[in-house]
A and B are shown apart, each in its own frame.
Chain A
Amino acid sequence: MEAAAPVPAVAPALETRGLVKDFPVGLREVKLRAVDHLDLSVPAGVIYGLLGPNGSGKSTTIKALLGLVAPSAGECRIFGRPSGEVAARRDVGYLPEAPYFYRHLTGRELVGFYGRMCGLGRRELAERVETVVAQVGMTGAADRAVETYSKGMLQRIGLAQALVHDPRLLILDEPTAGVDPVGSAAMADLIRGLRDAGKTVLLTSHLLGQMEALCDRVAILDRGRLVAEGTVAELAGGTGRQQLEVDRLDEAQMTELRAWLAVRGRGLHGVAAAGRGLDAVFLERVGRVKGEGKEL
């Protein structure tokens, strides 16, 4: 049995201190730095977005947090426990990017398999499998072989396996990659629900609009370095401007409004027609409303 490391009383859900990861490249094993002195602290109970272009070190950071790669320097902790310890991963559910699972198992068997790997007893396991399969809206397809699943269904069953042991922390790597807008919206609702249930969610995605709507805090990585960190409002707000949505004004009213603003030392910087957005139209036309969460 591994020795238990001392755990601080109130520890962040995730923490990296001076994390460095170098990969040897080529025959001469020249070092390629994927993560460069990264300091992150993810408080418990939030949705935390990890953003960055391809190759910015997001996946490597996640792998280091999960103990799948060894840091070249620095340390990673999960709820205060070094992430290299097997026991630290009891608190973590992980959904990899583009998940691939054992094709011959059914969805229910797959979730059950991972549940047993996490040490769930038979009675508890059956209950948890039913709960999480229903939570991700897969009850109807749970007895089909995984090889027959669509990409969206794979993401959902992947989320179910990540949730089966009821972890405090979820790490979701591109959970909506390749998923249609309906599924994407349903996944977003699921993630919000998890946060509301007290879970911490670490999320990566290239869909910045979705991240902005979902995340409580975000960190932006570039070339392995942390270039920005904070709440969405702190990072994306702060222009000193507001958006007002009003009924359509004709040209005379617009001129009047400009004059009214000018008297008060304010300017009108942009006018655009407010639409419902293609997302809303799509969701409406395919017969589902956001939040239904039936098809990902």
Chain B
Amino acid sequence: MKGAPFSFLRLGLVAQNTLREAVRQRLLHLFLGLALALVLGARSLRDFNFGAPELKFIADCGFGAMTLFGSALTIAATAQLFFSEIENRTALTLLAKPVWRAEFLLGKLVGVALLTALFCALLTGLLAAVLWVREGELMALDPEGFRGGRAVSYAMVALGGWLQWLRLVVLAAFTLLVASFARTQVFAVVCGFGVLVICHLQHLAQEAYTRAGSAVGVALGGLFGGMFPNFQVLSLADSLAAADLPAPGTMVRLTAYGLGWALAAGLLAVLSFRRREI
């Protein structure tokens, strides 16, 4: 009999099934609804803009919604979709077939990555639409201020959505890594949020330790820096101007950085899951 080589087809089938299951969950609808409401309602929150230009404030609200609800969705969906397979014993039936555990686990990761891609694409599209409409209104009110045409770079908005997606994929991979050995879903979710905080704040901690001259702090910061990605790297300049668009090479490097971390965490999850007893 022939062997059973690793199959991307089977991986794709698991991913497709994961996505199909995810989009039917109320959790997605809840987080998506909240995020959409925040993006759409950004205009009515402009009194809280702390002096930022209105369009910049709307963009910040949109990306903030993507970060907040996207992260919550990613962590919850990854843990839930993994543990539902274990607890409902669908994994038992599936892994009793000629299926590699790596196909199963990476399929789960790809399924969540597709889910977050949908989420980010939807929110980025909506954000761009809200910005476009508001920018048009502002142009009509103040033609002088927009003499050079539209000020918002929509390519910049799209890149912002792309980088946001990269962050969510990395987060999904780390959550899956924890889930691969965790006994409970709650543990995986809590650790997922812990990873999110570390990835977002580690650069601040490193700066603070360096400023304070604490050798232990710097060493700890370096250790965490080696173990977790720095999400600050995956953010755009604090501007919506076309002039601040990163060079294509930079985007390729950032994409490689994000996907590289996701792949590394995903492979570690596979190694850990190989030893798990179903």
Partners in one complex: yes
Cβ < 8 Å to A, chain B residues 1-29: 1-7, 9-10, 13, 17, 20-21, 24
Given contacts A63-B278, A96-B89, A87 and B96 within 8 Å (CB-CB): no
Mark interface residues in A116-158 (1 if CB within 8 Å of B CB, else 0).
1111000000000000000000000000000000000000001
Contact call B98/A118, Cβ cutoff below 8 A? yes
Which residues of chain B have C-beta atoms less than 8 A from A171's C-beta? 96
Contact residue among A69, A87, A99, A113 (Cβ-Cβ distance under 8 Å from B4): A87
Contact call A87/B88, Cβ cutoff below 8 A? no
Residue A274 CB within 8 A of the other chain: no
User: How far apart are A283's CB and chain B's nearest CB, in angstroms?
Assistant: 30
By the criterion of a CB under 8 Å from any partner CB, how many residues of chain A are at the interface?
Answer: 36
Which residues of chain A have C-beta atoms less than 8 A from B92's C-beta? 68, 96
Cβ < 8 Å to B, chain A residues 75-134: 81, 85-87, 89-92, 94, 96, 99-102, 104, 113-114, 116-119
Contact residue among B1, B9, B21 (Cβ-Cβ distance under 8 Å from A102): B21
Residue B93 CB within 8 A of the other chain: yes
Contact call B3/A2, Cβ cutoff below 8 A? yes
Which residues of chain B have C-beta atoms less than 8 A from A99's C-beta? 89, 93
Which residues of chain B have C-beta atoms less than 8 A from A113's C-beta? 13, 17
Contact call A87/B13, Cβ cutoff below 8 A? no
A158 to B89: give the CA distance in the assembly, Å. Answer: 13
Closest-by-CB residue of B relative to A94 is B96
Residue B90 CB within 8 A of the other chain: yes
Contact call A104/B21, Cβ cutoff below 8 A? yes
Contact call A117/B99, Cβ cutoff below 8 A? yes
Contact call B4/A117, Cβ cutoff below 8 A? no
Contact residue among B13, B20, B21, B98 (Cβ-Cβ distance under 8 Å from A89): B98
Residue A190 CB within 8 A of the other chain: no
Residue A286 CB within 8 A of the other chain: no
Contact call B98/A114, Cβ cutoff below 8 A? no
Closest-by-CB residue of A relative to B88 is A100
A204 to B7: give the CA distance in the assembly, Å. Answer: 32
Residue A70 CB within 8 A of the other chain: yes
Contact residue among A4, A69, A70, A101 (Cβ-Cβ distance under 8 Å from B90): A101
Residue A163 CB within 8 A of the other chain: no
Given contacts A2-B4, A87-B3, A116-B13, A69 and B96 within 8 Å (CB-CB): no
Contact residue among A4, A81, A114 (Cβ-Cβ distance under 8 Å from B93): A114
A70 to B99: give the CA distance in the assembly, Å. Answer: 16
Contact call A68/B278, Cβ cutoff below 8 A? yes
Contact call B98/A100, Cβ cutoff below 8 A? no
Residue A66 CB within 8 A of the other chain: yes
Contact call A81/B89, Cβ cutoff below 8 A? no
Which residues of chain B have C-beta atoms less than 8 A from A70's C-beta? 275, 277
Closest-by-CB residue of A relative to B85 is A102
Residue B138 CB within 8 A of the other chain: no
Residue A161 CB within 8 A of the other chain: yes
Closest-by-CB residue of A relative to B2 is A87
Given contacts A86-B99, A117-B10, A161 and B93 within 8 Å (CB-CB): yes
Residue B94 CB within 8 A of the other chain: yes
By the criterion of a CB under 8 Å from any partner CB, how many residues of chain B are at the interface?
Answer: 29
User: How far apart are B8's CB and chain A's nearest CB, in angstroms?
Assistant: 13
Residue A1 CB within 8 A of the other chain: yes
Which residues of chain A have C-beta atoms less than 8 A from B100's C-beta? 86
Mark interface residues in B98-121 (1 if CB within 8 Å of A CB, else 0).
111000000000000000000000
User: How far apart are A4's CB and chain B's nearest CB, in angstroms?
Assistant: 5
Which residues of chain A have C-beta atoms less than 8 A from B6's C-beta? 1
Residue B129 CB within 8 A of the other chain: no
A106 to B7: give the CA distance in the assembly, Å. Answer: 25
Given contacts A114-B97, A118-B98, A90 and B4 within 8 Å (CB-CB): yes
Given contacts A66-B96, A87-B2, A96-B89, A102 and B278 within 8 Å (CB-CB): no
Contact call A89/B97, Cβ cutoff below 8 A? yes
Contact call A119/B98, Cβ cutoff below 8 A? yes
Contact call A81/B1, Cβ cutoff below 8 A? yes
Cβ < 8 Å to A, chain B residues 219-258: none
Mark interface residues in B150-187 (1 if CB within 8 Å of A CB, else 0).
00000000000000000000000000000000000000
Which residues of chain B have C-beta atoms less than 8 A from A92's C-beta? 96
Which residues of chain A have C-beta atoms less than 8 A from B95's C-beta? 66-68
A81 to B4: give the CA distance in the assembly, Å. Answer: 13
Which residues of chain A have C-beta atoms less than 8 A from B24's C-beta? 104
Which residues of chain B have C-beta atoms less than 8 A from A67's C-beta? 95-96
Q: Which residues of A contact B (CB under 8 A)?
A: 1-4, 7, 63, 66-70, 81, 85-87, 89-92, 94, 96, 99-102, 104, 113-114, 116-119, 158, 161, 165, 171
Q: Which residues of B contact A (CB under 8 A)?
A: 1-7, 9-10, 13, 17, 20-21, 24, 88-90, 92-100, 275, 277-278
Can you name 29 A-B pairs with beta carbons within 8 Å? A1-B4, A1-B5, A1-B6, A2-B3, A3-B3, A7-B1, A66-B95, A67-B96, A68-B92, A70-B275, A70-B277, A85-B3, A86-B98, A86-B99, A87-B1, A89-B4, A89-B98, A90-B1, A94-B93, A96-B89, A101-B93, A102-B17, A104-B24, A114-B93, A117-B10, A117-B94, A117-B97, A158-B93, A171-B96
3 smallest CB-CB distances across A and B, nearest first, come from: A94-B96, A87-B4, A86-B4
